[in-house]
Amino acid sequence: SISSRDLLRMGAEYQRYRLDDWWPASGSGMMMGPNVFWNINNGKRDHFDVFAELDSQWNQQWFTQVGIRASQLNSDAGNVQGYNNTTVGMAGYGAAANAFNALDHSKSDHNVDVTMLARYTPDHNSSVEAGYAMKTRAPNLYERYTWANTNTMVLNMNNWIGDGNGYVGNINLKPETAHTLSITGEWHDAQKEDWQIKVEPYFTYITDYIDAVSCASVGKTCASRTDGFVNLSLDNQTAQLYGIDMRARKRLSDGQGLGRFTLTSALSYTRGRNLTTDDDLYQIMPFNLTLGVEHAYSAWKTRVETKLVDAKSHVEAIRKENMTAGYSLFNLYSSYDWKHARLDIGIENLFDRKYAYPLGGAYIGQGATMGTGVLHGVQVPGMGRSVNVGVTLLY
């Protein structure tokens, strides 16, 4: 604390990350041998940050927070090789390896993050908060340094996205920067025990957004495919997201007689667009609503809730993202507290509803995952009925 009004936090952070990703030769043929396949050799990602954050309580009504983080991120990777050194044909890895090895792999990113927040609390029943944030993300090692583009099997093995497609990195990627504006309004009773409503709309604009593109658009020639999936690379583009989160709670009884009952709700909506390609963004959760009733009686606490999820129709075309149908789930939770222990019991998806989780990604476990035979268009199914029991000891 630098004064009765201001609290200053400062610090530094260092992260050291190393990655070797290699695949041993398999069999005696040229498809997966005779060499060890070096996907990423001696990958390095060193992150050094300095940061400061200032909290200021100007008076009972006004609070502000300002923060800044400066980052130096250095990444690098060594030379690579494929299963063979042949320079022709789908099974030849020599040309792609030679082209990658001829490049300068060392990259340095200078990133700055900024946060600014102001909160106004006019009385005991409400508050309004407005904020701006600038957040930067540098490409990871797989986005920058995966290199093989002639063989679909290898491209598939470099899928860190979960969409079933094949990917090859782009060493020329720049960090992406997100600018977010948000406003939060909160209203409640003076003790925050009887009722509460919280509403938070937001808008995010992203420059140099790292998204999927065709291989040809970044000067790469990838293996073609006819199985419904696609082989892709990455490039910097422009995107935006906007949405709203809402939460509400209302106590229905005061705890006498049968105990205390509380009604809860949570709503979320997000929309994302790639402004460069006029496409939707990948893995955006559709509109969803959770309604619940909580009951507390002595040491017992119980919650009954239903989750309602809209159909996912806004999907990213270039990734051939799957649409999903809407669904509803019913969950039960209960707990009992002792002085030094707590028992938790939960049943999720009580009626064993079959559904596809919108963010589950493509299911490729029903075929030969290293080659052909995988059926396109199947979403990872949602979890069936599950019974969960937990014990927590307090000491």
Low-confidence stretches of the chain (pLDDT beneath 70): 28-30, 366-373
Q: What pLDDT, in 10s, does the model give residues 30-75? A: 677 889 999 999 999 999 999 999 999 999 999 999 999 999 999 9
Query: pLDDT (tens digit, 9 = 90+) per residue, 196-228?
Result: 999 999 999 999 999 999 999 999 999 888 888
Check residue 148 and give its pLDDT.
93
pLDDT of residue 285: 98
DSSP for 330-369 reads EEEEEEEE-SSEEEEEEEESTT----B-TTS-B--TTS-T
- Dihedral sign for Cα atoms in the order 141, 143, 144, 149: positive
pLDDT of residue 256: 78
Report the alpha-carbon distance of residue 100 to residue 351 in Å, rounded: 53
CA-CA distance, 188 to 127, in Å (whole number)?
Answer: 9
Tens of pLDDT, residues 13-30: 999 999 999 999 987 666
Q: What is the pLDDT of residue 214?
A: 96
Predicted local confidence at residue 295, as pLDDT: 96
For residue 371, what pLDDT is reported?
Answer: 52
| % the chain with pLDDT above 90 | 83
Question: Which pLDDT belongs to residue 226?
Answer: 86
Model-level pTM? 0.91
